[in-house]
Every structure is written in structure tokens, then in C-alpha cells.
């Protein structure tokens, strides 16, 4: 074999391996990873995040502390079973209060996700407040982050600095945004959550929800599921798409 042919063959082989590695990288998230049914390696003290997200969070936390804000994590990683407990508690509560199953489902998805569809399954998302501020009874209420709310200064700091650490608000207060209501406390680590969302949207979500046998899932119509995917899962901060 001539040296030129040998070099060409090596380049083709190397390129093939590179493309294979890239393909594996692109598909490194399993369905169970995306739906909160796996057992991922997570890091944190009092919260759980993927390694890279955790390292970025620690840097953001230190920077916030230097500015007088003590980031307090209210919620982070939640597996499928945890999300299902939330779902069932709210479904029982709303139906017991007189709502029809369909009305209860719509009420739940104002703020809470259907099990298997939560971003909190990924180890990339956090619900956070300022632990140095007065702690109101209902922590995660939009009014606490606005005007004279106790977390307003913290929210202003996050608006200025969070993106530089890779964290972005998920459910913004953009006027025409649909789906989940405004959550000024919910941030996502974009370098990981963006590719995870892309992989998640490749799943047959309708089929997964139909076979899940969740409380009230017999009321998940095709139109409801399509709307949920389009609005609740996909209508988020464009910087996270």
C-alpha cells in the first residue's frame, strides 16, 4: 500500500470513529434518563444535580453570596416516583374539592408536570430563593419576587448574572407564552438541559403517557397531549431551546 493511500485510509477510519463517537454523544441520554426512571450520578448537599451543573451552581452560589444573597434550593432533581406522588396528591385534592377530573388535570398543570415529563427529572433544574431574606409562608409565589417581595433583590441579581453561569429562567413572564405559569424561581442549566430536551422531544410522548396508567390519565385525550407537549413542554424561554 502506498503511503498516501495508507494516510487516506487512516483519515477515513479516524473520521468514522469520530462520527461514531459523536453519534454516541448525541444519544447518551436513555429514555429512562429523560423520564426520571434511571439512577443517575448526582451531586450536591441538600440538592441533586448532574456533575457539570453542580460545579456551575457552586460558582454561581459563591458569586451570589459575595453580593449578599444566600441561594437556598427548594427543589432540584425529582425522580418519576417523586413526581407521581405530587401528581396524585394534587389530583386527589382538586377532585375532592369538587373539580371534575379534566378540570383537576388542567389545574395541576398550571405549575406541576405530569410524571415522566418534568425537567426536574434531568438533574439540570433548580427552584431557588434567597435564604438571607425573610421567608414567607408560601415561598414559591411570583409576588415574592416582584415589587417589594422579599426575593425581589435576589431576582434582580439573577437577571443580571445567572446566564453567565449557564443558568436560565425556564418559564418566563413573556406575554404570549403558554403552558406553565410564570415561575421566577425555576432555573435550568442550559449546556445540558438543551440537548436533553432535544432528545426528550424525539420520544413518543403520547404513547408513554397512555401506557403510564397515572391517576386520571384515562382523561388524557389526544388533543390534550398534543397541546401539553406544544405548550407546557416546549413553550419555554427560547434560550433553552
Three-state secondary-structure class, residue 169: strand
Structure confidence at residue 28 (pLDDT): 86
120-156 pLDDT, tens digit each: 999 999 999 999 999 999 999 999 999 999 999 999 9
Total tally of structural domains belonging to the chain: 2
State whether 48 and 23 are in the same domain. Answer: no
Structure letter (DSSP) for residue 43: B
CB burial string 132-156: b at 16+ within 10 A, e below:
bbeeeeebbeeebbeeebbbbbbbe
**Averaged pLDDT of the chain:** 91
Mean of pLDDT values over 44-64 = 98
Do both 195 and 108 map to the same domain?
yes
Whether 7 and 39 map to the same domain: the answer is no
The pLDDT of residue 6: 41
Q: What is the mean pLDDT of residues 216-223?
A: 96
Give yes or no: residues 95 and 19 share one domain. no
Q: Is the Cβ–Cβ distance between 181 and 70 less than 8 Å?
A: no
Render pLDDT for 148-205 as a digit per residue (tens, 0 to 9): 999 999 999 999 999 999 999 999 999 999 999 999 999 999 999 999 999 999 999 9
pTM (predicted TM-score): 0.88
- Distances in Å between the Cα of 127 and the Cα atoms of 10, 201, 217 are 49, 23, 27
**Could you tell me if 98 and 11 lie in one domain?**
no
Give 27's pLDDT tier (boundaries 50, 70, 90). low
The CATH code of the domain that includes 106 is 3.30.1380.10
Rounded distance between C-alpha atoms, residue 113 and residue 118, angstroms: 5
| pLDDT, position 1 | 53
Q: What percent of the chain has pLDDT over 70?
A: 89
Residues 197 and 225 placed together within one structural domain of the fold: yes
Do 81 and 1 lie in a common domain? no
Cβ atoms of 111 and 120 within 8 Å: the answer is no
Which residue has better confidence, 74 or 17? 74
Nearest residue to 192 via CA among 85, 42, 20 = 42
Identify whether residues 99 and 56 lie together within a single domain: yes
Same domain as 153, residue 112: yes
CA 149 to chain centre: 25
| Residue 105 and residue 66 share a domain | yes
- Do both 14 and 104 map to the same domain? no
Same domain, 202 and 132: yes
Region 46-52 average pLDDT: 98
Domain hosting 4: range is 1-27
Amino acid at each position: 500500500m502506498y503511503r498516501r493511500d495508507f494516510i487516506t485510509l487512516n483519515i477515513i477510519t479516524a473520521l468514522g470513529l469520530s462520527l461514531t463517537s459523536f453519534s454516541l454523544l448525541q444519544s447518551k441520554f436513555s429514555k429512562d434518563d429523560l423520564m426520571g426512571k434511571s439512577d443517575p450520578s448526582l451531586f450536591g448537599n441538600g440538592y441533586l444535580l448532574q456533575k457539570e451543573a453542580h460545579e456551575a451552581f457552586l460558582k454561581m452560589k459563591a458569586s451570589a453570596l459575595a453580593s449578599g444573597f444566600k441561594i437556598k434550593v427548594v427543589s432540584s432533581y425529582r425522580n418519576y416516583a417523586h413526581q407521581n406522588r405530587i401528581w396524585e396528591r394534587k389530583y386527589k385534592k382538586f377532585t375532592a374539592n369538587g373539580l371534575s377530573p379534566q378540570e383537576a388535570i388542567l389545574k395541576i398543570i398550571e405549575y406541576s408536570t405530569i410524571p415522566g415529563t418534568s425537567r426536574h427529572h434531568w438533574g439540570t433544574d433548580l427552584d431557588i430563593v434567597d435564604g438571607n431574606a425573610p421567608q414567607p409562608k408560601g415561598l414559591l409565589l411570583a409576588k415574592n419576587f416582584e415589587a417589594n417581595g422579599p426575593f425581589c433583590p435576589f431576582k434582580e441579581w439573577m437577571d443580571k448574572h445567572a446566564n453567565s453561569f449557564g443558568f436560565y429562567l425556564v418559564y418566563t413572564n413573556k406575554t404570549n407564552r403558554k403552558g406553565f405559569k410564570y415561575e421566577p424561581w425555576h432555573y435550568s442549566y442550559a449546556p445540558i438541559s438543551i440537548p436533553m430536551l432535544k432528545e426528550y422531544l424525539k420520544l413518543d410522548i403520547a404513547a408513554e403517557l397512555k401506557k403510564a396508567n397515572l391517576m386520571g390519565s384515562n382523561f388524557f385525550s389526544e388533543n390534550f397531549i398534543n397541546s401539553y407537549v406544544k405548550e407546557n413542554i416546549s413553550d419555554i424561554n427560547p434560550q433553552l431551546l
